[in-house]
């Protein structure tokens, strides 16, 4: 009797960048093979090897982070459900037009007339805010001086932007190096607040205030301002939130066939999160019952989940340029369309109202934001009482999008079937 062949199996995947030593060894092999006699010094003292090791370390760190954090949690990495001021790491203000951002960067890189402070104006600004005890004091210190050639005074947004950029390095370093201190302060602060509450409900705002008080006593974090310490606390809370979601991920993303479909109320109870956070977690399921695309959109249309949820993608027409937008507006069956700020007439680069639209009233800005990558939804349905300025083709192709009511009914049916 002939032997039964073993079933085909995929080999286990071993990443080529699994650790620093493997990456460094592989890079040295490439150098030896490609450079030949032009690069023969591969010792640690060689500057080229130093740069190569820095690259190897960065790749190894990137692999470590992606290996220990599931890509399934990508929609929760950036908390779009929060206001921009609450999710911005450095407190960078909205400078408006891109030219102002370029102007501030040019000013920071300009030569400094005061050699003692450093070669650049950024060095002189850093010296001016070095003794400030708060963000407001630092901004005031920059507003009192003049910078650039010819010298000029900064406005409030420029000064706030300069302060945020100059303080970013110390804030990043604290977040990476002192995470254990923040975690210990969180545990201690919660114990203090729970004891103070005597069995009653715990106010998380009181916990955050207590954490900041504890962290200000730490020498390693004593130079940070209170609002920067709160930023560290917010980052720590977000990491705990992601870890809690990851622990019950099979019950949320539909991979566990025995688990009931998640609900917003169930997520709030299981994780102890806010309603906005629960809605964001609900987006991990491909088709949660009782939801529609607007579940993950603000009243003005800005998405609170990115990448967009499948229900948003299936019921929305992508608009990537003016020509396609014209055709979308000419089609009365297109009710919803996604567009990136700046790609469509009527939306400025930052999402604010720009030039008049092709059809007045057919496009609107959902929300002001300085991020040109933020996905925007703009209504392209013809306003009542108006006609299309563009005649549809004589033999139009079938529209790619259905009327909203039709798509909603099919969407609801598929969710119920799931």
Tell me 3's DSSP state: P
What pTM value is reported for the model?
0.67
Q: pLDDT tens across 109-143, in order?
A: 999 887 777 789 999 999 999 999 999 999 999 99
- In this predicted structure, the answer to whether residue 376 has a pLDDT above a threshold of 70 is no
Pairwise pLDDT comparison (258 vs 2), residue with the higher score = 258
Question: What Å distances lie between residue 32 and 39, 46, 57, 82, CA to CA?
Answer: 7, 14, 20, 51
Q: pLDDT tens across 322-347, in order?
A: 667 777 777 777 777 777 666 666 55
Question: Residues of the chain with pLDDT > 90: what percent?
Answer: 34
**Upstream peptide bond of 307 is cis (omega within 30 degrees of 0):** yes
Task: Report pLDDT for 307.
Answer: 83
Task: Report pLDDT for 7.
Answer: 66
| Confidence band, pLDDT 50/70/90 cuts, at residue 353 | low
What value does the mean pLDDT of the chain take? Answer: 77
Task: Report pLDDT for 224.
Answer: 93
Compute the average pLDDT of residues 180-195: 94
Task: Report pLDDT for 64.
Answer: 76
Compute the average pLDDT of residues 204-226: 93
Q: pLDDT tens across 79-108, in order?
A: 888 887 677 666 677 777 778 888 999 999
Show the CA angle centred on residue 229, arms to residues 228 and 230, nearest 5°. 90
Domain ranges of the chain: 20-43+52-64, 86-170, 178-247, 249-285, 310-385+400-417
Left, alpha or beta for 254 (phi > 0: left; psi -120 to 50: alpha)? left
Task: Report pLDDT for 347.
Answer: 55
Show the CA angle centred on residue 60, arms to residues 56 and 62, nearest 5°. 120
- In this predicted structure, the answer to whether residue 357 has a pLDDT above a threshold of 90 is no
What contacts 389, CB < 8 A, 6 or more positions away? 358, 359
Question: What Å distances lie between residue 387 and 128, 267, 317, 324, CA to CA?
Answer: 59, 46, 20, 18
Q: pLDDT tens across 282-327, in order?
A: 999 988 888 888 899 887 777 888 888 888 888 887 776 666 777 7
């Amino acid at each position: 009797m002939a032997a039964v062949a073993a079933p085909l199996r995929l080999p286990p995947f071993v990443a080529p960048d699994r650790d620093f030593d493997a990456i460094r060894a592989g890079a040295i092999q490439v150098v030896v093979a490609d450079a030949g006699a032009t690069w023969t010094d591969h010792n640690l003292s060689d500057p080229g090897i130093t740069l190569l090791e820095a690259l190897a370390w960065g790749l190894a760190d990137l692999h470590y982070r992606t290996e220990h954090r599931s890509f399934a949690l990508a929609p929760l990495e950036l908390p779009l459900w929060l206001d921009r001021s609450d999710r911005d790491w450095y407190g960078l203000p909205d400078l408006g037009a891109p030219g102002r951002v370029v102007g501030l960067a040019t000013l920071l890189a300009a030569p400094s007339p005061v050699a003692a402070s450093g070669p650049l104006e950024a060095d002189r600004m850093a010296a001016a805010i070095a003794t400030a005890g708060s963000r407001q004091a630092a901004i005031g210190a920059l507003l009192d001086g003049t910078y650039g050639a010819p010298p000029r005074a900064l406005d409030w947004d420029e000064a706030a932007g300069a302060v945020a950029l100059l303080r970013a390095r110390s804030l990043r370093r604290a977040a990476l190096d002192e995470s254990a201190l923040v975690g210990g302060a969180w545990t201690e602060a919660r114990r203090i607040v729970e004891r103070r509450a005597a069995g009653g409900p715990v106010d998380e705002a009181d916990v955050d205030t207590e954490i900041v008080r504890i962290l200000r006593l730490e020498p390693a974090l004593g130079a940070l301002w209170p609002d920067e310490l709160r930023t560290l606390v917010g980052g720590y809370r977000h990491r705990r939130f992601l870890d809690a979601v990851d622990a019950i991920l099979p019950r949320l993303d539909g991979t566990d066939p025995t688990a009931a479909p998640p609900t917003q109320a169930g997520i709030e109870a299981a994780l102890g999160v806010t309603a906005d956070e629960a809605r964001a977690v609900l987006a991990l399921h491909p088709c949660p019952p009782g939801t529609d695309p607007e579940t993950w959109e603000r009243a003005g249309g800005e998405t609170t989940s990115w990448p967009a949820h499948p229900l948003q993608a299936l019921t929305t027409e992508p608009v990537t340029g003016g020509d396609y937008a014209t055709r979308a507006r000419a089609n009365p069956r297109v009710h919803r369309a996604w567009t990136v700020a700046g790609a469509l007439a009527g939306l400025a680069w930052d999402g604010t109202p720009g030039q008049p639209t092709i059809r007045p009233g057919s496009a609107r800005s959902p929300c002001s934001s300085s991020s040109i990558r933020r996905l925007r939804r703009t209504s392209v349905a013809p306003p009542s009482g108006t006609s299309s300025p563009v005649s549809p083709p004589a033999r139009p192709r079938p529209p790619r999008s259905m009327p909203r009511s039709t798509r909603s009914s099919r969407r609801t049916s598929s969710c119920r079937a799931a």
